Each structure stands twice: as C-alpha cells, then as structure tokens.
Amino acid sequence: MTTQELTISNFEDTVSAEGIVLVDFWAEWCGPCKAFGPVFEQSSEQHQDIVFTKVDTEANQELASGMQITSIPTLMAFRDGVLVFSQAGALPAPALEDLISQVRGLDMSEVHAAIAAAKAEAQAE
C-alpha cells in the first residue's frame, strides 16, 4: 500500500479512524527523513492493514506546529483515534517493526481507561 499525503484538511479524519495510523512528519531538505522514507514505504507494503501517511512539514507548517513537531523526522502512531506513540528520529526497519508489534498488542480498553483516569485526576486538581 502506498503512503497517503496528509494535510490540515484530512489529518483529523484520518488519525481518528479505527485501526492503526502511522504518520511520518518529514521535509524534502531533511537527510534523516530521506533515509527513513524507504524504510517507511517498505513497511507500508508489508502491513496492508495499517494506514501509512506522510506530512510534508514545509507545505503544512500550521499542522506541524499544531502537532508540536520540533524535530524531523517525527513518527506518530495512532490507534483507534488515540495517539499512542510519538518520537523524533529516523527508525531503522527492525525498530519500526517492533513499534508496529507493540501498537498491535495494545489493550485499547486499558488505554481508554488510563485516559479517563488521567482526565478525572486533572479535573479533581
């Protein structure tokens, strides 16, 4: 599966969908981004059930700023509309595969319970 280009107009609908969505924030001038690009593309071919997306931070500066991107490449993983991973830096292929396995293995009922508990605690303060 080829990667999808995300912009401010389709970002929210894409990352809030059910399933796993990986977002690669990148720029054309970024050397590490160019090194990570083929790794990301190859992984997209192997995992047809995951949505692989890219955000060009130069063309989408408002989106990158809104997502607090301060270094690129930055990889984010969303599952069922929840941001479950965010890290700057190019991942080697084995680390990306490990991340995908960890995201697949998440118990989302536990994740949602932890989010609800954190919100309740924040409101109590």
pLDDT for residue 125: 78
Instruction: Identify the helix (H) or strand (E) that includes residue 107.
Output: none
Instruction: Tell me which of 62 and 1 has the higher pLDDT.
Output: 62
Q: How much is the mean pLDDT over the chain? A: 94
Give CA–CA dist 114/24, Å, rounded.
26
Q: Where are the alpha helices (DSSP H) in 47-92?
A: 61-66
Active site residues: 30, 33
Measuring CA to CA, how many Å separate 114 from each of 24, 101, 119? 26, 20, 9
Local structure of residue 97 (DSSP, 8 states):
H
Q: How far apart are CA 1 and CA 124, in angstroms?
A: 45
Q: What is the pLDDT of residue 121?
A: 87
Average pLDDT over residues 73-102: 96
The domain made up of 4-124 has a fold known as: Glutaredoxin (3.40.30)
Asked which of 2-6, 17-21, 40-44, 63-67 is least confident by mean pLDDT, the reply is 2-6
Question: What is the distance between the alpha carbons of residues 6 and 113, in angstroms, rounded to a whole number?
Answer: 29
The predicted pLDDT at position 83 comes to 95
Q: How many residues does the chain have?
A: 125
Residue 8: pLDDT band with limits 50, 70, 90: very high
pLDDT of residue 88: 95
Question: How confident is the model at residue 1, as a pLDDT?
Answer: 58
Residue recorded with tokens 């160019």: 34
* Burial class of residue 14 (count of CB atoms within 10 Å of its CB; 0-12, 13-18, 19+): middle
Average pLDDT on 57-76 reads 96
pLDDT at res. 123:
87
